[in-house]
Amino acid sequence: MKKIHVAKHSGFCFGVRMAVDKALKEAKKGKNVVMLGDIVHNEHVIRMIEEAGVRVITALDEKNPGTLLLRAHGTIPEVYEEAKKKGYTIVDATCPLVLEIHRRVRMLEEEGYTIVIIGDVGHDEVVGIAGQIKKSIVISQSGEVSKKIPRRLRKIGVVVQSTQNIENAQSIVYELAHKCQELRFFDTICKPTKLYQAEIRIMPKENDVMIIVGSFNSANTKRLTEISRSINPRTYQVESAGDVKPEWFAEAKSIGISAGSSTPDWVIQDVIQQISKIINKPVPLCGMG
């Protein structure tokens, strides 16, 4: 009998849940509510919010301002200023833990540190953190340290994108310690990320196949997939039930399922249903002769 194990820590984190609740609450008011880009990185959630009446825009419109929802992983200060100037009412859905990273980089800047952000270059959250200060260096892997910091510095202050891989961040911090006289490190990887990653370091050892549910543009889902695949190559990421392939489960006795922090529960449930249907089907016998 094949078994399915679902991660205890998976799906919506509190920051995403708060952002979605704010969006739906504003949508209910029935006014001109817009979001600049995706409020969270999951197409199912965006569709649900759009269906509730919130429009996605790509630029702020002076002629038709309304209520502007700002994304869970933070926004650069210029967007706040432009929105205010153009007459928008701002509803800030930035996760409090991301706001805390903003506060810390501003503080490090005031104290004269060269600021390093450990994170993915170009990711919304990293852009939002870098936007709080005049100058920063973004490093995504330890191999980049010497290239990006060729000379030894006096003081380096470090923060981390909330959804980074803990082990990757540790190896970068280790390299940075050799690059300065004083290192100040704030471990700003959020608690939900740590819990999800701790579980995903165990589950792939205990299951024959791992399925990670979430968008390909979601940083934390990508991270879960990378960690899981490094332990168990039979790891597959799916965005929805339709992506699940029967051949993945050949001879698998147990299947582990985890999901990124922006994946809604109903999508996880659909994937579980789909996998149960596949693995409980009798395997067709091959014809002989």
Contact footprint for ligand SF4 (CB under 6 A): 13-16, 72-73, 95, 97-98, 162-163, 190, 192-193, 220, 261
Q: 215 vs 274, which CB is nearer to ligand SF4? A: 215
Q: How many Cβ atoms are within 10 Å of 154's Cβ, its own excluded?
A: 10
Place of tokens 């990320």: 193
- Closest-CA residue to 86 (of 69, 66, 70): 66
Q: How far is the CB of 200 from ligand SF4 (least distance, A)?
A: 14
Phi then psi dihedrals of residue 211, to 5 deg: -115, 125
HSE value, Cβ hemisphere, 13 Å, CA-based, for 150: 1
Instruction: Please state the closest distance from residue 54 (CB atom) to ligand SF4, in A.
Output: 18
Specify whether the CB–CB gap between 132 and 157 falls below 8 A: no
- Among residues 136 and 220, whose Cβ is nearest to ligand SF4? 220
Least distance from C-beta 94 to ligand SF4, angstroms? Answer: 9
Q: Is 182 a catalytic residue?
A: no
Dihedral sign for Cα atoms in the order 57, 61, 64, 69: positive
Name the residue number minimizing CB distance to ligand SF4.
Answer: 15
Closer CB to ligand SF4, 220 or 274, in the complex: 220
CB of 143 to ligand SF4, least distance (A): 26
Phi-psi region of 37 (alpha: psi -120 to 50; beta: other; left: phi over 0): left
Comparison of 129 and 255: residue with beta carbon closer to ligand SF4 = 129
Distance CA 151, CA 179 (A): 7
**CA geometry: angle 11, 274, 243, nearest 5 deg:** 75
Closest separation in Å from C-beta 209 to ligand SF4 = 25
Nearer to ligand SF4 (CB atom), residue 41 or residue 179: 41
Pick the catalytic residue from 51, 109, 110, 125.
125
Residues designated as active site: 125
